[in-house]
Chain A
Amino acid sequence: MRKRYFVGGGILAVAVGLLVYASLGSAVSYYLTVSELLDRGSELYGERVRVAGKVVDNSIEWDADTLKLDFVITEGGEDLLVVYEGARPSGLKEDSNVLVEGEYRSDNTFQASTIILKCPSKYEPQE
């Protein structure tokens, strides 16, 4: 009776384990700061990464007609040009902290597929 459970449960667990193993590889992305990304440079070309940095003053360029958005993020004294196609996220402002997810390209620009805003301090007062 019990043995059958362990066998049945075991088979299910192995099946789910394989599913996890097969799905995990492509879903993991590294989480880097701008300086870490630039340090590793060319080895990350084409990789999916998440990069965190702060938007540089006067660097946001947004063309509403073509839906092209670029801006520079900075961290640790180094800058990275982020290129994005899509709507300008509300709340994207100079000096705001952002997290961009996408691909680091061989022309040393970052092609973002998602822009995640770290929320302004006003939402949750810093203590």
Chain B
Amino acid sequence: MGTAEIGQGAIILAFLAALVSAVVAGIGARTGSRRFISITRISVISIAVLYSLALATAVFAFLTRDYSLKIVSEHVDSSLPAAYALSALYADKGGSVLLWGWLISLFSALIASRKHEYDNSILPCMLCVLAAIQLFFLAMVTFVVNVFEKNPAPVAEGVGLNPLLQNVAMLIHPPMLYLSFAAVSVVFAIVIAALITHTPGAQCVRWVRRWALFGWCTLGLGNLIGMWWSYNELGWGGYWAWDPVENAGLMPWLLITAFVHSISVQRQRNHLQRWSLVLAILTFEFTLLIPFITHGGIESPLHGFYGSHFPPYILAVILVTLAGSLGLLYMRRKDFQKDERSFTLISREGASEVTNIILVLLTAVILFGTVLPRVVELFGGTQIAIDRSFFDRVAGPIMLLLVFFMGVCPLLGWAKTSWQSVRSNFVFSLLATLLVVVIILIVGGGKWYLISAAVCSFPVFTILLEWFRRAKARHQDRKENYLRASLAMLNSNRPRYGGFLVHIGIILITLGIIASSFYSAENMVSLDVGQSMKVGEYDLAYDELILKGSQTKVSAVATVSMSRQGRHIGNLYPENNYWFSYMDTFAEVAVRTTPAEDVFVSLVWTSFDQQNKSVTIRAMINPLVVWIWVGGGLLLIGGVVAFSHQERRDSQYKDR
């Protein structure tokens, strides 16, 4: 028996186990029988075991370069390092679905094995929904994209992995996304099960919160890692192109961001509103939409789903589950009547609701811009394309508005806020912001720096001020020093201060985006050895070119010495590689990063001829880009802090 048979067999058994789980869980949910619930737990765990076996078989085939499998021969060759051979699995569309489904099966098994976490009233129903989702994924890897398909004739050597995917970021980016999609499936399952079983919202929030935070954090980081890769690998000097695949990753993130905010309000007010449930359902549907949206996008050959053969029935599945979920929500509308509590618009709830609406509108606009060309093509016949300027112009102002609200929120209290209580904080933050604006005016930054400083420093000040005020109170009450007081405070309300850290991260990202969008400098010239070029305030001298050959490629490595105002500050070594298996060249950029700006150098053309050493160099100065990645780090830290808070059973969390 070969790997293909073992893998395929495991998948088929997992499919059967999922079928059994769904049925048994369904009976368990209807009858509440403890025996059926125990059987469900075992069968759900067995899906994960079988799925793991299938995945392990695939991984083994990749590592041992088993070219009898089509998926292996199409994505790796013998010279590929082992780590990339592993990542080649998810360079394939079938491998992607396999990984994604496997993570769902792991999370389901985790839930099934936690005896006391979830009540028996909801558990079988949750597991039933999760088993149904797994059936869908298992059916896809079996019938739509057969992962374990064999090559009809023996293959001596594989095609190899696209050189652009041979990057550290690509080891992490896809698994991060699939982790988040799997977590979103769990959120969806909890929400649907809660609706079916009339489970009170307060309990639900407790179960859903950590899964949602986990999904939110991994999706955000996954997207950021994708941006980092785009910036460091693709050589165009940017990190976001509003490409359909990027939008497909951003939209569910915006929705889950709205969801996380919505439940954080409800955690305090102890209920779960319909609005949150709609967000959870939509987030789930958007994650399923990804293979569909990216289907056939010509600009993007780098994602596993490119040009894939996912048939339109995925769209049908999405529409049916969406209609079913929303229909269920409508049927259960009476469960929510008692939940409504009043609050004024000028309160933390009010601001949170507004933020929610803005996030959803932003998602709607991005969806509109992403699918409009397809819709026009489908109904009107003409093909159109939407330029990225559309997204920039629409998303830019909305993003600034969101950042502004991050500043407003910490000022406000629950339910209702009097002007008296916020006045001093508000005035102080506003004055501090004005000071920053004046400094920039004096120093002489551009108008976008002014706008971004005005919008971004306000929330930073309100957040820091709030933090300082609390720390000071502790300092006076308990005689703790400020650092200790800050840490103790962070520990005492991790969700809130984790959120503050995340907000500062988002503001840093916004700053980086604004600065690098409006103030980057670019120059591209062809140079001979000894010549130099100017970009921004920098002089770049092209010193030499070294050609190196290896088994897989010829590398041309240029030495570019950088100087600023006559002072030498270092060398950069951009490369251009000719890959034999692709008969094509791929550049490796060189970047010098400082807190103020990146010097980005890409070798866009070389002759690969020992006699002709002239090259074409594209150089850019990208201000503040590093803060995007630093902001991403804060996103992670804040996410971990918020996640580490474990809600106690039946506890009424109180915040002032």
The answer to whether A and B come from one shared complex is: yes
Which residues from chain A sit less than 8 Å from chain B, CB to CB? 1, 4-5, 8-9, 12-13, 16, 19-20, 22-24, 26-32, 48, 50, 64-65, 67, 86-88, 90-91, 99, 101, 116, 118-120, 122-125, 127
Residues of B within 8 A of A26 (CB): 387, 389
How many angstroms between the C-alpha atoms of A27 and B387 in the bound complex? 5
Contact among A16, A87, A124 with B604 in the assembled complex (CB-CB below 8 Å) = A87
Q: A122 to B160, alpha carbons, bound, how many Å? A: 10
Across the interface, name the chain A residue whose C-beta is closest to B615.
A64
Q: Which residue of A lies closest to B341 (CB)?
A: A1
Given contacts A64-B614, A86-B524, contact A30 B301 (CB under 8 A): no
Also in contact, A16 and B524, with CB within 8 A (given A64-B616, A127-B309):
no
List the 8 closest pairs (A to B, CB-CB), nearest first: A27-B390, A31-B383, A87-B604, A119-B301, A23-B393, A90-B585, A27-B387, A64-B526
CB nearest to A89 among chain B residues: B604
Q: Are A12 and B384 in contact (CB under 8 A)?
A: no
Excluding A8-B354, A24-B386, A87-B604, 7 further A-B contacts by CB distance (< 8 Å) are: A12-B361, A16-B362, A16-B364, A16-B398, A31-B373, A64-B614, A91-B584
A contact residues around B23 at 8 Å (CB):
none
A65 touches B526 (CB 8 A): yes
CA distance A88 to B643 in the complex (A): 48
**Cα–Cα distance between A120 and B162 once the two chains are bound (Å):** 12
Mark contacts of B278-317 with chain A using CB atoms, 8 A cut-off: 1 yes-contact digit, 0 otherwise.
Answer: 0000000000000000000011010000110100000000
Q: Is B397 an interface residue (CB 8 A)?
A: yes
Closest chain A CB from B360 CB (angstroms): 9
Q: How many B residues have CB within 8 A of the partner chain?
A: 49
**Binding site of B, secondary structure by majority: helix, strand, loop or mixed?**
mixed
Q: Tell whether, in the assembled complex, residue A23 and residue B390 are in contact, meaning their CB atoms are under 8 Å apart.
A: yes
How far, in whole Å, are A124 and B298 apart by their CA atoms in the complex? 12
Indicate whether B518 reaches chain A with its CB closer than 8 angstroms: no
**Chain B positions within 8 Å of A32 at CB level:** 383
CA distance A116 to B387 in the complex (A): 13
| Cβ proximity bits B547-589 to A, threshold 8 Å, 1 near / 0 not | 0000000000000000000000000000010000010111100
Q: Is B368 an interface residue (CB 8 A)?
A: yes
Q: Are A50 and B385 in contact (CB under 8 A)?
A: yes
Task: Report the minimal beta-carbon distance from A115 to chain B, rounded to whole angstroms.
Answer: 12
Cα distance, A32 to B614, chains bound together (Å): 37
Residue pairs across A and B with Cβ atoms less than 8 A apart, 28 shown, are: A1-B342, A8-B354, A12-B354, A16-B362, A16-B364, A16-B365, A16-B398, A20-B368, A23-B393, A24-B386, A27-B388, A27-B393, A28-B384, A28-B386, A29-B385, A31-B383, A31-B384, A65-B526, A67-B526, A87-B524, A87-B604, A87-B618, A88-B604, A90-B587, A90-B605, A122-B582, A124-B306, A125-B159
Q: How far is the CA of A31 from the CA of B162 in the complex (A)?
A: 28
The interface bits of chain B over 343-379 (1 if a CB of A lies within 8 angstroms of the residue's CB, else 0) are 0010000000110011001101100100001000000
How far is B384's CA from A12's CA once the two chains are assembled, in angstroms?
28
Interface contact A116-B298, CB-CB below 8 Å: yes
Q: B340 at the A/B interface (Cβ < 8 Å)?
A: yes
Identify the closest chain B residue to A87 (Cβ).
B604
Are B74 and A125 in contact (CB-based, < 8 A)?
yes
Cβ contacts under 8 Å, B385 to chain A: 28-31, 50, 101
Tell me the smallest distance from the CB of B609 to a CB of chain A, in Å: 12
CA distance A30 to B309 in the complex (A): 26
Most buried by B among A5, A27, A88, A116: A27
Q: Is B525 an interface residue (CB 8 A)?
A: yes
Q: What is the bound-complex CA distance between A92 and B465, given in angstroms?
A: 55
Nearest CB on A from B522, distance (A): 11
Chain A positions within 8 Å of B354 at CB level: 8, 12
B382 interfacial by beta-carbon distance below 8 Å: yes
CB distance from B337 to the nearest CB of A (A): 12
Question: Does B394 sit within 8 A of A, measured CB to CB?
Answer: yes
With a cutoff of 8 Å between Cβ atoms, the chain B residues found around residue A116 in the complex are 298-299
- In contact, A27 and B358 (Cβ under 8 angstroms): no
User: For chain B residues 600-649, which have a beta carbon within 8 Å of chain A?
Assistant: 604-605, 614, 616, 618
Q: Which residue of A lies closest to B392 (CB)?
A: A23
**What is the chain B residue whose CB lies nearest that of A122?**
B582
Instruction: Report chain B residues within 8 Å CB of A124.
Output: 301, 306-307
Give A13's nearest chain B residue, CB to CB: B361
A8 to B385, CA, bound (A): 33
Report B605 CB to chain A, min CB distance, Å.
Answer: 6
Which residues of chain B come closer than 8 Å to A48, judged between CB atoms? 387
A44 CB, min distance to chain B CBs, angstroms = 13
- A16→B394 contact, CB < 8 A: yes
Assembly CA distance A125 to B385 (angstroms): 26
User: A27, B398: Cβ atoms under 8 Å?
Assistant: no
Contacts of B584 on A, CB cut-off 8 Å? Answer: 90-91, 120
Q: Chain B: which residue is nearest A125 at the CB level? A: B74
